[in-house]
Structure 1
Amino acid sequence: MNKISIGQSELMASQISLGIMRMNALSVEEAKTVIETAISEGIDHFDHADIYGKGASETIFGQAFKKLGISRDSVILQTKTGIVPGIMYDFSKEHIIQSVEESLTRLQTDYVDTLLLHRPDALIEPEEVAEAFDELEKSGKVRTFGVSNHNPLQIELLKKFVNQPLIINQLQLSLTHTPMIDAGLNVNRTEAGSVLHEGQLIDYSRINDMTIQPWSPFQSGNGKKGLFFDHPDYLELNKVVNEMAKEKGVAREAIAIAWLLRHPAKMQPIVGTMNPDRIKAITKTTEISLSREEWYKLYLSGGKMLP
């Protein structure tokens, strides 16, 4: 497994991160197997959030990790805060600090390597965020900071007040959810893809040395439910993915991740499978590479057109 630098930080992490959202459905023993498999395959970065499984995903991970007896410093733990499910988003100093304290307890650790603000809070007071970040950094409970699902101006507003670099933006991106790609290709045109829904996030992230972490890399796009694998609305995409997987001797999941890794923005995809065999299959993606032609072939087979 290759390693990449994460944003403007000293963190070096695996090219692929394991998302822990679904770990609440596992027993501690099952979770141990998942974590152990990920680490043996070279994954040392684990993505959490305070709301995953209503906190149970962090709890089970913490219990399983402790039982494995692995050095805390050998892995990178990332968590997110700011969502009060079904009620509001909350970037208040009080909520951020309390959320981190609770995550640390559940994870059974003294610190997290990275804290992300999960989704933009319409009532954000960036001065409060800055105070929370300073306090968490000074206490050693959080080492680095970033955001999730934020656009460039929201990031710029935060940067005006916070003292720490924002090293990550976690964003939805897959072969069937490509607004960040579409907008960059359809410049000064009338097609729907030319609308800057996301404010040129890829270019902004590259200019500002922020690592993009694509989430839901296998999910269907445009509001469709389920995975795009075998989805009736993506027959051509599945044909191309399956042919390419067979040709390269890897699983179809590896092709979908290879498409993300081929982009020069040096992204770090988040994969959320809790299946050890699928983890092994996905990590094979770092053993292959896609040509420019193959990358565009996959993009176009998802129903896109070049201007």
Structure 2
Amino acid sequence: MSDAARIGLGMMRIETLSPDEIRELYAGAREAGVTLFDHADIYGGGEHGCERRFGEALRLTPAEREEIVLQSKCGIRPGKHGFDFSAEYIVRRAEESLEALGTEYLDVLMLHRPDTLVEPEEVASAFDQLERAGKVRAFGVSNHTSRQIELLKTSVTQPIEVNQVQFGLGHAALVAQGIAANMEGLKQSADRDGGLLEYARINGITLEAWSPFQRGFFSGSIFEQGGLRDLQTVLGRIAAERGTTPTAIATAWITRHPARMRVVLGTTKVHRVAEAVAGAQIVLTRAEWYELFVSAGYEVP
């Protein structure tokens, strides 16, 4: 996987952009080497709003379409009405995404958040229908634990190739728990995901880090004033030593991990995309990696 291939661009915030601004963002990302563009059916008001803006602004030719990876997600019912992993709903929403994006196929379709009412045979039926019709080439999940993936695999025959999860210096539970496993009284030792990081590495599932620069659950950026000041200081110092930017170093912290994660940006700024791509080319030392981890408020026993 090339350095630029480690970076994807999320389309969650493009609904308010003009067609020219969408084209400029897309062109800037492509110039930086980005080929992965991430969507979801609920982005932009819940009814394929951002997918439609993307498709209408770009109107990709078949040749241009083959040069990129388009992935989308479904399973969250718009309007806070829970989740739906029934075969009918998955197939219908995927087909609506294809129409909105103006494409004949998705490279990847993900189940957006776990549906506790999931019937794995329903998911398997949907995946089989979409694969046979050539409408989806690969499948994945988002925000799923290892056991939830195992449950799907009782019926689903296609590989689960991707799991998109929140991860970054402001939300690092994915690695923090394992570093402090079984440390009684230490908050970060709580197991929230059933060993998801190790499970993904063992089973060849690519983890994609969404909101890589957010603190907590949308509590603000790690770069904002009033946020993680110790982390900001260390990011700034290492960036200066490396002749780059804090965004690049925060990206490099994620891509340094041997799980070979991808970073899915939520920015609409071309320069931020270029900085992240530059960061994917930096290999932090172990000392730098752990210093950044501690400065973000985590413990190394």
TM-score calculated relative to the size of structure 1: 0.93
| Number of corresponding residues | 297
Of 30, 35, 53, the match for 1:60? 53
Partners of 1:244 and 1:259 lie apart in 2 by: 11
Q: 1:207 to 1:56 in 2, by over 3 A?
A: same
User: What is aligned with 2:109?
Assistant: 115
- Residue 292 of structure 1 aligns with an amino acid whose one-letter code is R
Provide, for residues 33-54 of structure 1, a one-character-per-residue CA deviation record: whole Å limited to 9, x for no partner. 1111111110001110000003
Q: 1:103 to 1:198 in 2, by over 3 A?
A: same
CA drift of 1:232 comes to: 1.8
CA drift of 1:23 comes to: 1.0
Of 253, 258, 272, the match for 1:278? 272
Partners of 2:17 and 2:63 lie apart in 1 by: 20
- What SS does the aligned partner of 2:54 have? helix
5+ unaligned residues in a row in structure 1: which ranges? Answer: 5-12
CA drift of 1:183 comes to: 1.2
Of 201, 209, 218, the match for 2:213? 218
Matched, 1:207 2:202: yes
User: What is aligned with 1:129?
Assistant: 123
Q: Which range moved further: 150-159 or 285-294?
A: 285-294
- Residue 266 of structure 2 aligns with an amino acid whose one-letter code is G
User: What is aligned with 1:8?
Assistant: none
CA drift of 1:233 comes to: 3.8
Of 14, 32, 47, the match for 1:23? 14
Q: Which range moved further: 275-284 or 34-43?
A: 275-284
Q: Which range moved further: 198-207 or 243-252?
A: 243-252
CA drift of 1:25 comes to: 1.4
Q: Is the 8 A contact 1:251 1:282 kept in 2?
A: no
CA drift of 1:56 comes to: 1.5
> 1:166-205 to 2 correspondence within 5 Å?
166-190=160-184, 191-205=186-200
Partners of 2:50 and 2:277 lie apart in 1 by: 22
- What SS does the aligned partner of 1:43 have? coil
Q: Is the 8 A contact 1:19 1:271 kept in 2?
A: yes
Q: Provide the alpha-carbon RMSD of the alignment.
A: 1.5
Partners of 1:227 and 1:233 lie apart in 2 by: 7
Matched, 1:34 2:25: yes
Q: Is the 8 A contact 2:120 2:151 kept in 1?
A: yes
CA drift of 1:70 comes to: 5.8
- Residue 74 of structure 1 aligns with an amino acid whose one-letter code is E
- Residue 66 of structure 1 aligns with an amino acid whose one-letter code is R
Q: Is the 8 A contact 1:32 1:68 kept in 2?
A: no
Matched, 1:258 2:252: yes
Dislocated runs of 4+, deviation >3 Å: 67-70
5+ unaligned residues in a row in structure 2: which ranges? Answer: none
CA drift of 1:194 comes to: 1.5
Matched, 1:45 2:36: yes
Q: Which range moved further: 147-156 or 277-286?
A: 277-286
Q: How many percent of aligned residue pairs carry the same amino acid?
A: 44
Q: Is the 8 A contact 1:15 1:269 kept in 2?
A: yes
Of 243, 263, 270, the match for 2:237? 243
Partners of 1:114 and 1:214 lie apart in 2 by: 16
